[in-house]
Structures are given as C-alpha cells and as structure tokens.
Structure 1
Amino acid sequence: MEPQRLPAIQGWNWIKRGYRLFVMAPLLWIVLLLIWLTAIILLSAVPMIGDPLASLLLPASLIGFMVGCRALEQGDELELAHLLGGFRQRTAQLVTLGGIALALQLLIFGVMAATGGAMLVATLMGQHVQDPEVLAQVIASAGPSILIGLALFSVLLMAMQFAPMLVYFNGIAPLAAMKLSLRAFLANIGPMLVYSITFTLLAILASMPMMLGWLALLPVMITSLYACYCAIFPLPAATAPGEPATPVQEG
C-alpha cells in the first residue's frame, strides 16, 4: 500500500471537504467535541495514571470522529454513538498504537534530559512547579535539547497523523501504520504546508471574537483530517458506516 502524492492545492481542498462535513451536522459535531474534550480532561486529572491512560486511549477515542465522518459521506446521520467507534472494533490495536506513541514520547523526553534539558523535562512532566522567571531560565539553558525535542516530536506527530485511521480502516498493524503515515506525510509536504498555514491563519481569526470561532474551527480540524486521509490513502469499501477492512500486511 502506497500513499498518493498530491499537489499543494489539495491542502486547501482538504479543509473545504472537512468544512462540508462539519456543516452537515454542526451542532452535533460541537457536542461530540465537547464530550470528548471533557472526557480527556477528566481522565488526565486522575493522579498518577491519568495522563498515561489518556495517551493510551487517544487513538481509539479519535477514531470515533472518523467513523462519524464516514457515516456522513455514506449518507447516514451523525450519532453520539459514533464517538465510541474505536472501542468497538480493533480496540486492542488502537491501544497498542497509543502505547507505542507513549513509549516514544518518554524516549524523546529521555533524549532531551540527556542533552541538557533535565530540568525542562521535569517541568513539562509536572514534577516541578516553576515561577515564570525560573521557567524562563530553564528554557534558556535548555536550548539544544529543545531543538532536538522539537525535531523528534515533529517526526512522531507525522508518524501519528494517519496511523489510527490506517489501523482501523485499513487493518494495518500499529507500527507499520506509523511508518506508512510518516512516508505519506513526507511525500505530501506541499499540501501539508498549505493545510498547516491555512489553519494557522484561521486560528488567528477564530481567536478574535472571544475565541468563539474555535467552536467551529476545532471540529473542522478533525473532519479535515479525515478528508486528508481519504485523499492520500484508498479507503476500503465497507458494508456499514465505519466498518473496518480485513487486516492487511504492511511492512
């Protein structure tokens, strides 16, 4: 399975397609997003295990939005039940994907700590509460480790961009899905830049009227991710909305 290589203008087309999906059920998209955000915040607030558990479940929870997108494109209605799509099919694989991502995050923090950013890593992981002046000093002293961390986290984000959808819809193993997602991102740098720059500008506009624009922008960010995935990867035919494909092998 190979990702499509697309022209830069496709980055704008993904956003338009995502917006069309949003306006099919705008109020319900906002409700779904608020439920999801509330669940993530509450889970993360659990002492000790909250943040790791939220990371493990993140891919499975995000799939619910993708299942909703697919249902709309197949002519069905968006439902609250779609939010649980990732907990009904391929849950183990999606949680495994979350576990791999969590392990890589910890590895990156370890690299940052080993390259002079130990205090910064401790602060980011919530082990120390710093006042602004001390935090500024910590950041200033951790320059190289910050650059290394940004580079490594960027690669991880690229690898996770499409991985949950590849696991769920295409039946690809978690690690192979991350590799394929990274290849797809690098093969489509042009449209990804257009996509990212456009959303940056939209985020500035959404922040102006009391941040109210984010109620529409956040759902469109999610629905356009589905559009992006569908354009780059063939979406297998399914007999029901959101039904995953038969597992395939991907090296």
Structure 2
Amino acid sequence: MSASLPLLPRLWARTEVDPQTGCYRWTGGKQGGPGTYGQINHKGRTRPVHVAAYEELTGQQVPDGHHVDHVAARGCRYRDCWNIAHLEPVTPRENVLRGTSPAALNARKTHCPQGHEYTPENTRLADGSRVCRTCERARAARFYRAKQEAAGKTVGLPMAEKTHCVNGHEFTPENTFLDKGKRRCRTCARESSRKSQQRRREEYKRNPTVRPPMGEKTHCANGHELTPENTFARNVGTVGCRICARESARKSQARRRARMKT
C-alpha cells in the first residue's frame, strides 16, 4: 500500500483484532519474523508500528530516552499490537522491569532466597547483581568454622548469633552500639570507663602531677570550661567538649572543601 496515504487507513488495512485481548495485531512486515514488532514506512523512514501509531493517534512525541511499552496490565499480550490503549511511554529500566525476562524477575524480588529483605544496609552490588550481606556473613562464618574445626580448634558462636556479651548482658537495642562495625555492650563499656576513672582517681591522689581523671577536670585539654552547657556524653560514658567538637567539625569541612576545589 502506498506510503503517501494517511497512516490510519494503512494500519487498518493490515490489522486483525483479537476479540479476547482487544489487541490490534499488525499482519504486515515484522522486524524479525513472527512474534516480533511490526514495522511500517512512515514519514520517509521505517518505524515500529506501535511507535508510529502512538505518536500519530495521540499527537504526542515519545520522550527522548523512552520506549513505548505494551502494558500487560491492560491486557496486551502481543508485540505487534498498536492499540494505543495498550501502549505507554516508559524508561528503558521500567520497560525491562515490566517484562518476564530473568533480569526483570530478579529485579522485582524484595527478599533473597533465604528470606532476608534487600534493604540498602543489607545489600551490595557484585558484577551488577545484588548480594545479601546477611547470607554473605553466614557463608563466611560457616567457612571459618569448618576451617577451624578441620584444624582441631574449638569454635564459639559467631558474633552475629550471640544474644549476650561475654559478661552476660543481653544485646538489646538500648544496650548495644557499633564500634568499627562490631557490636559492643553499653553496660560493659560504662563499667570499663568507670573502672578506668577510678584507677586514675587513685593514681591522682598518689601523684597530683599526673593528668587528673575526667571527673576531677574543670576544663578540657584546650582550656574550655566543662560546664553542663558545654559538655555532651559519648557512647562509652565519657564527656566531651562541645566547643572542641564544633571546631573539629569546622576544620574537617574546610579540609573537605579544599580537596573538592583541587
């Protein structure tokens, strides 16, 4: 049929309507044989039938970087369909995710095969694929235990499986903090800090020339008075100087800006 005729009569001349899905199935030329996208000569060049139909019948151009998707949720089952009620411009990523390919099926998963959720904290990328950190740690723990047992060594529970610290304190959210990626017991940290301060007080009583313990200090190392307004509590039970902390943060930001300029 002549390419000089309007597009719509040319489309209907080679179209069969599927009564079950409502798809307008193109019976003319295909890009790669049956089951592929239809193609038609329109405005001096060969174009996919569904793209040409969408732009012609809606009066809207497909946005740059977008694909025209055959929306399965609207009942579309065929790539050669040009029913604009079944079509929608989407990004390439969205187009892939709506498909049934292995990549699309995996991308829609929210949990790993062992049931752990793919949260930002529990996920890392390896060669473009998502890896569950919980499973990875469990595999590493099993490998370590097998290696130690093969060497005849006794192996305790992995840290991630422990519910109490070595002194019997429960690892509750309120009693736990992270130190270099490892769980620490707040009760033990406070007790350790208390004993350290007690030792320093006793040493200070014997020799007043040594550095006084935190409880005896009235000023920080830089001479700022340790008033209630100028102090804050650290995780391990000690106190810090707010003026020094702000100055340290200011210098850190200045160094970062200097590196960005260079």
TM-score norm. by structure 1 comes to 0.18
The structure whose Rg is larger is 2
Q: Which structure has more helix as a fraction of its residues?
A: 1
Task: Say which structure, 1 or 2, has more relative contact order (CA 8 Å, 6+ apart).
Answer: 1
